[in-house]
């Protein structure tokens, strides 16, 4: 079996669902179930014996060690992380604890397990660490996209904590020989995305008749990667990646935030037109920019294509339409996730910025 950490979060849950849809190999899914973890995302696996869910922390070395041994895990895919920049600005401590200390404890549990393996089991074992393009810092409008050789220049508590975790993974390979792989991805979007992030927030606020908050001038540029493409890239790296290597995963879709919002509004105008005949773009509201907001991210994913033959299947236009349609078709999931603590956080963060 494989062990997936953070498998009830956005990218992790999509990975688990895709893995079990096309693979007979079972998954132990370890997730702490913080605010962004949602078991409803995994409801279709409730009676599937291939999926074993365990609520727990990657920092619990004893628990991780027991799971590795009990299920004779042959690979670990580490999605577990605190991942929202705004939250890291308000409370960086949780990000250091999960992304740095948690990754350290996970690596130590995995190292002890791997050291005890023998023969083919030891040779075939893999630890794949999922990271972000934000560790590279920011780009100007004319800079080349981030490649794997770019130096790390993180600008937020979130990206700094992820950069630290990447360095730990690298060090455990070079010092102890642990067979690791690292992926650094661009901005993901798609089904089951927690609605504090730009795309789901805009979709849900638009449908609810609420303001669509745009930071600053809205010209921050991101490379957008459809989550199912990301999942296929991770499977490819896990199966074929060279040990100790880093692979950047991008969608080749650079878009300014404001253009993304206008695209969503245009799709909603077609799929769910407003009764009064106005366009959703009229709900756009500009709010004060966040501190240290990186201007541009862009990923050069040519290494992954050149060495392993992977490239994304979705364009931004096809992926964003699928995403909007998914949210329209899955209002029960949306209602479940947008209750209680989430609404309170939105009010705290955006309520005084408009």
Q: Minimal CA–CA distance to 41: which of 8, 79, 5, 78?
A: 8
- Are the C-beta atoms of residues 16 and 45 closer than 8 Å to each other? yes
Tokens 């401590």 -> residue: 93
**Helix, strand, or coil (residue 145):** coil
Residue by residue, DSSP assigns 263-280 as HHHHHHHHHS--TTS--G
The residue annotated as part of the active site, out of 82, 134, 196, 294, is 134
- Are the C-beta atoms of residues 6 and 14 closer than 8 Å to each other? no
The residue annotated as part of the active site, out of 31, 57, 133, 254, is 133
> Does the annotation count 134 as an active-site position?
yes
Residue 113 sits at φ, ψ, to 5 deg, of -65, -45
Residue by residue, DSSP assigns 33-63 as --TT--GGGGGGGTT-TTEEEEE--TT-HHH
Instruction: Give CA torsion, residues 200, 206, 210, 214, to 10 deg.
Output: 60
The residue annotated as part of the active site, out of 113, 136, 158, 280, is 158
Residue by residue, DSSP assigns 297-348 as --B--HHHHHHH----S--HHHHHHHHHHHHHH-HHHHHHHTSTHHHHHHHH
**Helix, strand, or coil (residue 188):** strand
Active site residues: 133-134, 158
């Amino acid at each position: 079996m494989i062990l997936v950490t953070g498998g009830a979060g956005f990218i992790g849950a999509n990975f688990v669902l895709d893995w079990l849809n096309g693979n007979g190999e079972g998954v132990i899914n370890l997730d702490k179930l913080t605010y962004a973890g949602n078991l409803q995302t995994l409801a279709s696996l409730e009676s599937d014996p291939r999926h074993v869910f365990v609520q727990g922390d990657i920092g619990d070395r004893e628990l991780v060690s027991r799971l590795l041994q009990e299920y004779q895990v042959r690979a670990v895919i580490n999605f577990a992380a605190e991942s929202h920049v705004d939250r890291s600005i308000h409370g960086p401590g949780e990000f250091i604890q999960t992304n740095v200390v948690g990754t350290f404890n996970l690596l130590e549990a995995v190292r002890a397990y791997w050291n005890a393996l023998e023969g083919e089991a030891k040779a075939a074992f893999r630890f794949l660490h999922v990271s972000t393009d934000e560790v590279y810092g920011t780009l100007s409008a004319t800079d080349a996209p981030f490649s794997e050789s770019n130096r790390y220049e993180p600008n937020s508590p979130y990206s700094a904590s992820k950069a630290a975790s990447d360095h730990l993974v690298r060090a455990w390979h070079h010092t102890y020989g642990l067979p690791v792989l690292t992926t650094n991805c661009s901005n993901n979007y798609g089904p089951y995305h927690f609605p504090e992030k730009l795309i789901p927030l805009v979709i849900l606020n638009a449908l609810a008749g609420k303001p669509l908050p745009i930071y600053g001038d809205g010209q921050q540029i991101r490379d957008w990667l459809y989550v199912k493409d990301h999942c296929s890239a991770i499977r490819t790296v896990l199966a074929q990646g060279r040990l100790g290597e880093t692979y950047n995963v991008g969608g080749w879709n650079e878009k300014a935030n404001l253009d993304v919002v206008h695209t969503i509004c245009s799709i909603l105008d077609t799929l769910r037109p407003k009764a009064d005949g106005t366009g959703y773009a009229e709900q756009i509201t500009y709010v004060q920019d966040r501190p240290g907001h990186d201007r541009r991210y862009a990923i050069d994913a040519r290494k992954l294509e050149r060495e392993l033959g992977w490239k994304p299947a979705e364009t931004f236009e096809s992926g964003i339409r699928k995403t909007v349609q998914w949210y329209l078709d899955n209002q029960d999931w949306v209602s479940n996730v947008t209750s209680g603590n989430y609404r309170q956080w939105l009010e705290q963060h955006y309520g005084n910025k408009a």
